Amino acid sequence: MKKIEAIIRPHLLDAVRNALQEIDVKGMTVSEVQGYGRQRGHTETYRGTEYQIEFIPKMKVEVVVPDDIEEMAVHAIMKAARTGKFGDGKIFVTTLDDVIRIRTGERGEAAL
């Protein structure tokens, strides 16, 4: 299984969710996050301490999927989240060891 974390523009959340539902992704977690990429990473020093400024609001979408739909899921997110401008976001993919459905004790892909 793969865990796909996508940092996207907040106003494109519905489009990304719809795109993922179309490829039968079973569940998802979303959260409001703040961050910066290459354009905004400057720091300010105040009384000897460095402060990171200019965090931009983004949404984080997390989905766990079987290996065989990883590429489809990544492409679905890219297509829905891309405007072509700086700040469109990023997708992080990691290998996930296990999933446990708490109610039943099912594990692995059966628990997705």
Ligand X SMILES: Nc1ncnc2c1ncn2[C@@H]1O[C@H](COP(=O)(O)OP(=O)(O)OP(=O)(O)O)[C@@H](O)[C@H]1O
Which does residue 58 bind out of Mg ion, ligand X, none, counting CB within 5 to 8 angstroms by kind?
A: ligand X
Residue 102, both tokens: 């708490």
In angstroms, what is the minimal distance from the CB of 110 to ligand X? 31
Residues sharing a CB contact under 8 Å with residue 111, sequence separation 6 or more, in sequence order: 99, 100, 101, 104
Q: What are phi and psi of 44, to 5 degrees?
A: -120, 140
Which positions touch ligand X (CB under 6 A)?
Answer: 7, 33, 35-39, 56, 58, 86-90
Q: Tell me the residue nearest to ligand X as measured from the CB.
A: 35
Site for Mg ion in 69-98 (CB under 5 A): 86-87
Q: Is residue 39 a contact point for Mg ion (CB under 5 A)?
A: yes
Q: How many residues bind Mg ion (CB under 5 A)?
A: 5
Residue with token string 């200019």: 54
Shortest distance in whole angstroms from residue 73 CB to ligand X = 18
50: which 2 tokens? 């460095």
- The answer to whether residue 18 forms part of the interface with Mg ion (CB under 5 A) is no
What are the beta bridge partners of residue 100?
A: 107
Helices of type H across the chain: 13-22, 70-81
* Using rule CB under 5 A, residue 37 touches Mg ion: yes
Binding site for Mg ion (CB under 5 A): 37-39, 86-87
